[in-house]
Amino acid sequence: MKKIGVLFGMENTFPGALVERINGMKVSGVTAEFVQIADVRMAAPCGYDVIVDRISHDIPFYRAYLKNAALGGTRIINNPFWWSADDKFFNYALATKLGVAIPPTVLLPHKEHPTGTTERSVRNLKYPLDWDSIFEYVGFPAFLKPFDGGGWRDVYKVNTPEEFFSAYDQTRTLCMTLQRGVNFKEYFRCYVVGQEHVHIMPYDPRAPFHERYVADPPAYAPELLARVQRDCRTLCQALGYDLNTVEFAVEDGVPYAIDFMNPAPDADLHSVGQANFDWIVNTVAELAVRRATEPGSGSTYRWDSLLKGAP
């Protein structure tokens, strides 16, 4: 029997619906359940063929458990090795190389020295920074946001150098990026599953939280939607994520990708709505079953092949 497990945190609607959907598909020899963890022994198989991971970014113990499980041949959605290695600034740079439109973005040194370090630890940094040149490259308005953030935490919109400095002063030891603000007309949040299936959700980040997923979207130019679909696949294939959301802010018909490192994207029924929820539950269920039933490539126990993920 092939076993699919769902590992999750505080969310309530998606994990149960996913387990129910997979079992409801009645694929012979495949069953799904919530992951159960007892003792975790090195190099021991975890008992699951596939794990859908929704929470290891918040629980280091789970991340370590998943890496150990991968050694035993478990396919993990998403690959914990790559997820551990990734950051948003690298993603912006990679996307630029791939021809996806990204607003000009810079990486900034920590405002306060990371715990346990002093100014002696950062003597390689040129000080003071040439802020005029940075502001000229990025432009205003701009967004100051963490290089590994999520859920709008520590995101600041700044319109002037003064506003920038007062926001930067509040960022403690976080590693931040500064990115040109896109003056967008359209905004899309897209689910991407299996690095292939794209579900475009018109989204209004300026609306109150419960009204953000636009119920009656206008008709969009087919070329725009085609480009969004293509960029979604390009990004997720390059990043290796089997489940991700990619957010685009569209200015003058150009979709700028601004947020696409979301390997445990919000999939709560009450925020995304029934139709989006049904799509994500069905598509992830099909992917998990596919991963559970396709032949594995066999692990070579090398960091580079683990990063690559299976198959």
For binding to ligand ADP (CB under 6 A), which residues are involved? 103, 143, 145, 149-153, 155, 179-182, 205, 247, 249, 258-259
The nearer residue to ligand ADP, 262 or 283, going by C-beta atoms, is: 262
Residue corresponding to tokens 């685009």: 248
Identify what 75 binds: ligand ADP, Mg ion, none; CB under 5 to 8 Å per kind: none
Identify what 120 binds: ligand ADP, Mg ion, none; CB under 5 to 8 Å per kind: none
| Cα dihedral 279/281/283/284 (nearest 10) | 150
In whole angstroms, the minimum distance from the beta carbon of 138 to ligand ADP comes to 10
In whole angstroms, the minimum distance from the beta carbon of 216 to ligand ADP comes to 20
122-151 residues in contact with Mg ion (CB under 5 A) are none
Residue corresponding to tokens 């931040």: 176
Angle, to 10 degrees, between the axis of helix 222-239 and the axis of helix 88-97?
120
The nearer residue to ligand ADP, 15 or 181, going by C-beta atoms, is: 181
The nearer residue to ligand ADP, 5 or 263, going by C-beta atoms, is: 263
CA dist 258 and 102 (Å) reads 7
Element (H, E) at 97: helix 88-97
306 to 61, 85, 153, 240, 242: CA distances (angstroms): 19, 12, 30, 12, 15
Among 138, 259, 281, 285, binds Mg ion (CB under 5 A): 259
Residue corresponding to tokens 């040109």: 180
In whole angstroms, the minimum distance from the beta carbon of 192 to ligand ADP comes to 15
Cβ atoms of 37 and 48 within 8 Å: the answer is: no
In whole angstroms, the minimum distance from the beta carbon of 291 to Mg ion comes to 26
- Taking CB atoms, the residue at the shortest distance from Mg ion is 259
Binding site residues, Mg ion, CB under 5 A: 259
